[in-house]
Amino acid sequence: MKKQRIALLGAAVATAVALAACGSNSGGASPSSSAAADANAVVQVGSLYEPQNLDNTAGGGQGITEAFNGNVYEGLFRLTDDGKVEPLLATANTVSADGLTYTFTLRDGVKFHSGKALTSADVKYSIEKVLAPDSKSARKSSFPEIKSIATPDPKTVTVTLATRSISFIYNLSYVWIVNDQAGNLSAKEDGTGPYTLDGWKRGSSLTLKKNPSYWGTAATNGGVVFHYFTDGSALDNALLTNAVDVVTSEQNPDALAQFTDNPAYKVNDGHSTTKLLLAFNDRVAPFNDVKVRKAVSSAIDDKKLLQSIWGDHGELIGSMVPPTDPWHTDLTGVNAYDVAGAKALLAEAGHPNGFTFTLDTPNYDPHPTVAAFVKSELAKVGITVNINVITPDQWYTKVYQNKDFTATLQEHVNDRDVVWYGDPNFYWGYDNPQVTAWIKQAEQAGSEAEQTELLKKADQQIAADAASDWLYLYPQIVVASTKLSGYPVNGLNSQFYAYGIHKG
Amino acid sequence: MTRYLVRRAALLVGTLLLASVVLFLILRLLPGDPANALLSVGATPDQVAAARHQIGTDRPLPAQFGHWLSQLATLHFGDSFVSSLPVGPEIVSRLSVTVPLTLSAFVLAVVVAVPVGFLAAHRAHTWYGALAGLVSQLGIAVPAFWLGLLLVWVFALNLRVLPAGGFPPDGWSSFPDAFRALVLPVVTVALVMAASLIRYVRSATLDVLGSDHLRTARALGSSFAGAMWRHGVRNAAVPVVSVLGIELATTFLGAVVIESVFALPGLGSMLVRGIAQHDYPVIQGVLFVSTFAVLVVGFLADVAQRFIDPRLRGGLVR
């Protein structure tokens, strides 16, 4: 029932929890000898994430990020595989001494697919599109307040912020630069990327073809067809019968064996940013008591859980920060598995005989399995768990909006999302003024080193406070035919840069 | 017959109107806010309000209903809440998969079920008659998706003669590919449909075989085939046709499981997606079209029955 998860994910909540994740453009396998590769070959990509529409500011979801980011649309900046930001449509930028005014110089010779040349007006329009009142961009809330955007000449854009924001450039890498004359982009595109849209058959496939007048290095293949599946086994079968060449994100642990043992395929373990959380409602008893949260965290054997679901794939994490974020520290030792310690903490907290709580469990995999595991683990320290299965939509309303829950399971897809612990109004209600201050200061930091230092402190504090129980980091698995090389392996769940793929 | 057809057509339109009201109201009674499906974690109340306004769910119900009816009158189904793309063209595109799938499976099922069902009744005491009955029972017990997976395993993964799933991006323009893509799904649906049809054909045939009038016809000197053709088939066909109508209607949307197994962009999966996302225009559009299709099929089954059995013609006309 892995497929169920995907369908529902795409549908409601997680499209969203999955704000466009950080991407990578480094090939999984190094490009094979280009002599063997056919520059006109069409790469067939299999995916479980069909876009809702073609506009990432109109609720297109993670599917459109996968298909279009870097392929059809480009930003002023691009995120590299190791999470670094590099210039793309901007060639240079300067920041004023107060850190509030950014000046960007645009690349020469860039044209939209419609033929229009890129100007500063397009950039202004594109940023405003993300911030507009009706924008459904998942990144909208990450942006600081923008005072003004000026376009002194066609090649220069000046953005003035109301407050300092160290992540501004990073966040700009999620802003597609679109033609300001293009109008509604729900069903068409006008970007600057190495591919143009050839067709979209809803419920089935999306076809990109090579852009013959691309400003940069042309794609190493003739085009890409994204084939969309709702059933993970159907997707695996398509790969086994060569109907697709690569699966962007394998979600079916049981299916891996048939590819691992087959010389015609390569299974790539990339870095993921998707964390599975047992999120407590830190506002209400018993989880308003840090000792209870620590006890529960220590009572669950995360390693055994991960092993039982994903075998040798995936990683353990000790906090919200995945290893690819710059401020990662290994905190797996904090509140590590220790049943005796958990019992002692419970006694100290006044629950020597345990207690009973309700765990709101989304109805798609792996949550029901995880809930059953948590229930059996906590039974060993005297805690009774009532599993309440809910739909993604109910989760959004009950847990996320109304905060009417005691504990819940949820996956958080984003990179750099430890900052939510600085928002006391977030659904889990973690409220530590010191952490809130650190996270706020980090955003206004003068340097990345300072930002990193502050976020590390915040991260260590939330781990010590067991703000949530971070169960494990999902694996990010790309399975591909060995005929393919140069594909992204990290993809960090959303982006799939296709222009470097060799097929031959 | 003409009067009957007119009355039946008027009934069809009336039912359709009633169905549209019921559809609209039931959808609005469902818990959950469609605006949520559009937004992400971290959405501000302003964003939620803007989303509600954009899709029109902040307007009073009668206004929403009036809007929908006026769209329907011009054969528009509105724009999807989620994608803001028009629903009509997507329904048409998906019908180009669902209609051929359903109709071919239906024809194939009938072609298989009628002779096999007849044989199972007429030769009930031979080994192959018993086998036919047994196989059909087995067929009813086997879930369609399992049969689909089995066929994929044999014909796509091992023999490699047919695709495991998917539908060509340009649809029926690449006819050979589209045709090949539908072979396994059609066979799967047809076999499952045939299994239950065999049961009905078999029992209808058994009824006829044991009937007095057939025995009398034989006594009067008709050959078995002659008696069967003149007196048997017509009587046996009446209940079978009504079951056929129901089967056809069920498959129209019920093929969703098969669509998922074979990654086909059919109407059923569009409905499932619409429901998951609270995308009212999509749900309304699909259900309206399928209600229409079901009513038409029911209408045709009725007409067919009256054509087959003259006795039915008398009663309802008056």
Residue A423's identity, in one-letter code, is D
- Say which of B84, B152, B167 has its CB closest to residue A237: B152
> Looking at residue B295, what is its pLDDT?
86
Express each pLDDT in A326-340 by its tens digit: 899 999 999 999 999
Model confidence at B231: pLDDT above 80: no
Show the domains of chain B with their CATH numbers.
94-317 (1.10.3720.10)
Interchain contact A238–B (C-beta under 8 A): yes
- Enclosing H/E stretch for B192: helix B175-209
Instruction: Kindly state the average pLDDT of the residues A454-471.
Output: 96
Please answer yes or no on whether A231 and B261 come within 8 Å at the CB atom.
yes
Please answer yes or no on whether B94 and A203 come within 8 Å at the CB atom.
yes
Express each pLDDT in B272-297 by its tens digit: 888 888 888 898 899 888 888 888 88
> Looking at residue B257, what is its pLDDT?
85
Residues 71-110 of A with CB under 8 A from B: none
For residue B315, what pLDDT band results from cuts at 50, 70 and 90? low
Q: For a pLDDT cut of 90, what percent of chain B falls above it?
A: 18
CA distance to partner chain A, nearest, from residue B82 (Å):
6
Please answer yes or no on whether A11 and B261 come within 8 Å at the CB atom.
no
> Looking at residue B43, what is its pLDDT?
67
- Enclosing H/E stretch for A277: strand A275-280
Q: pLDDT averaged over chain B? A: 84
> Looking at residue A18, what is its pLDDT?
35
For residue B41, what pLDDT band results from cuts at 50, 70 and 90? low
Instruction: Kindly state the average pLDDT of the residues A290-314.
Output: 94
Interchain contact A262–B (C-beta under 8 A): no
> Looking at residue A469, what is its pLDDT?
97
Cβ of A96: how many Cβ atoms within 10 Å?
Answer: 12
Query: Which chain B residues touch A63 with a CB distance below 8 Å?
Result: none
Please answer yes or no on whether A237 and B157 come within 8 Å at the CB atom.
yes
Query: Which chain A residues touch B42 with a CB distance below 8 Å?
Result: 16, 19, 138, 140-141
Model confidence at A14: pLDDT above 90: no
Interchain contact A449–B (C-beta under 8 A): no
Interface test with B, best of A9, A49, A52, A197 (most B CBs within 10 A): A52
Instruction: Please report the ipTM that was assigned to this predicted complex.
Output: 0.80
Model confidence at A445: pLDDT above 50: yes
For residue A69, what pLDDT band results from cuts at 50, 70 and 90? very high
Express each pLDDT in B248-267 by its tens digit: 888 887 788 898 889 899 99
Closest residue on chain B to A62 (Cα): B40
pLDDT: which is higher, B70 or A350: A350
> Looking at residue B40, what is its pLDDT?
60
> Taking a C-beta distance cutoff of 8 angstroms, is the pair B18, B69 a contact?
no
Domain spans, chain A:
74-177, 195-272+476-503, 275-473
> Taking a C-beta distance cutoff of 8 angstroms, is the pair B97, B105 a contact?
no
Residue A244's identity, in one-letter code, is V
What phi, psi does B291 have (nearest 5°)?
-60, -45
The DSSP code sequence of A351-371 is -TT--EEEEEEESSTTHHHHH
Please answer yes or no on whether B39 and A205 come within 8 Å at the CB atom.
no
> Looking at residue A492, what is its pLDDT?
62
CA distance to partner chain A, nearest, from residue B169 (Å):
6
pLDDT: which is higher, B240 or A473: A473
CATH number (2.40.50.100, 3.90.76.10, 3.90.1520.10, 3.10.129.10) of A74-177 reads 3.90.76.10
Query: Which chain B residues touch A207 with a CB distance below 8 Å?
Result: 169
For residue A436, what pLDDT band results from cuts at 50, 70 and 90? very high
Count Cβ atoms within 10 A of the Cβ of residue B6 and give its class: 0-12 exposed, 13-18 middle, 19 or more buried.
Answer: exposed
Least confident of A22-36, A129-143, A482-496: A22-36
Please answer yes or no on whether A19 and B42 come within 8 Å at the CB atom.
yes
Of these ranges, A73-82, A136-145, B44-53, B104-113, the one predicted with the greatest mean pLDDT is B104-113
CA separation, residue A49 to residues A322, A412, B86 (Å): 23, 16, 21
Please answer yes or no on whether B36 and A225 come within 8 Å at the CB atom.
no
Q: How far apart are CA B225 and CA B122, in angstroms?
A: 12
Model confidence at B168: pLDDT above 90: no
Interface test with B, best of A237, A425, A426 (most B CBs within 10 A): A237
For residue A450, what pLDDT band results from cuts at 50, 70 and 90? very high
Query: Which chain B residues touch A133 with a CB distance below 8 Å?
Result: 46-47, 50
- Say which of B36, B51, B160 has its CB closest to residue A12: B36
For residue A1, what pLDDT band results from cuts at 50, 70 and 90? very low
Task: Write the class of the CATH domain A195-272+476-503.
Answer: alpha beta
Express each pLDDT in A170-228 by its tens digit: 999 889 999 999 988 988 999 999 999 999 988 899 999 999 999 999 999 999 999 99
CA distance to partner chain A, nearest, from residue B288 (Å):
19
CA distance to partner chain B, nearest, from residue A199 (Å):
8
Closest residue on chain A to B153 (Cα): A237
CA distance to partner chain B, nearest, from residue A143 (Å):
12
Instruction: Kindly state the average pLDDT of the residues B296-302.
Output: 84
Instruction: Kindly state the average pLDDT of the residues A49-64.
Output: 85
What phi, psi does B32 have (nearest 5°)?
110, 150
Q: How far apart are CA B132 and CA B124, in angstroms?
A: 9
User: Fold match between A74-177 and A275-473?
Assistant: no
- Say which of B47, B156, B265 has its CB closest to residue A201: B265
Model confidence at A466: pLDDT above 80: yes
Model confidence at A5: pLDDT above 90: no
DSSP assignment letter at B86? B
CA distance to partner chain B, nearest, from residue A423 (Å):
11
Query: Which chain B residues touch A184 with a CB distance below 8 Å?
Result: 84
- Enclosing H/E stretch for B296: helix B280-308
For residue B314, what pLDDT band results from cuts at 50, 70 and 90? low
> Looking at residue A135, what is its pLDDT?
81
Instruction: Kindly state the average pLDDT of the residues A268-287.
Output: 93
CA separation, residue A491 to residues A69, A400, B136, B144 (Å): 11, 27, 48, 35
Task: Write the class of the CATH domain A275-473.
Answer: alpha beta
Q: pLDDT averaged over chain A? A: 88
Strands A246-247 and A42-47 come out as: parallel
Interchain contact A144–B (C-beta under 8 A): no
CA distance to partner chain A, nearest, from residue B294 (Å):
23
Least confident of A477-481, A500-504, B137-141: B137-141
Query: Which chain A residues touch B270 with a CB distance below 8 Å?
Result: 202-203
Query: Which chain A residues touch B41 with a CB distance below 8 Å?
Result: 13, 16-17, 19, 396, 400
pLDDT: which is higher, B246 or A303: A303
Query: Which chain A residues touch B39 with a CB distance below 8 Å?
Result: 16, 59, 136
Strand partners, A86: A78
> Taking a C-beta distance cutoff of 8 angstroms, is the pair A245, A45 a contact?
yes
> Looking at residue A23, what is its pLDDT?
33
Q: How far apart are CA A34 and CA A15, in angstroms?
A: 37
Least confident of B35-39, B68-72, B291-295: B35-39
Q: How far apart are CA A488 and CA B250, in angstroms?
A: 43
Burial A298-313 (b: 16+ CB within 10 A, else e): bbbbbeebbeebbeeb
Least confident of A363-377, B3-17, B198-212, B225-239: B225-239
For residue A25, what pLDDT band results from cuts at 50, 70 and 90? very low
SS3 A269: strand
pLDDT: which is higher, A23 or B6: B6
Please answer yes or no on whether B82 and A53 come within 8 Å at the CB atom.
yes
SS (H, E, C) A437-458: HHHHHHHCCCCHHHHHHHHHHH
CA distance to partner chain A, nearest, from residue B111 (Å):
29
Interchain contact A227–B (C-beta under 8 A): yes
> Looking at residue B33, what is its pLDDT?
73
Burial A102-140 (b: 16+ CB within 10 A, else e): bbbbbbeebebbeeeebbbebbbbbbebbbeeebbbbbb
CA separation, residue B128 to residues A364, B109, B117, B135, B208 (Å): 45, 19, 11, 10, 20
Express each pLDDT in A231-254 by its tens digit: 888 899 999 999 999 999 888 888
Please answer yes or no on whether A52 and B82 come within 8 Å at the CB atom.
yes
Please answer yes or no on whether B276 and A7 come within 8 Å at the CB atom.
yes
Query: Which chain A residues touch B96 with a CB distance below 8 Å?
Result: none
> Looking at residue A36, what is its pLDDT?
59
Strands A356-362 and A407-412 come out as: parallel
Residues 334-393 of A with CB under 8 A from B: 392-393
Here the tokens at position B243 are 């079951």
Report the candidate in A91, A96, A85 with the shortest Cα–Cα distance to residue A118: A91
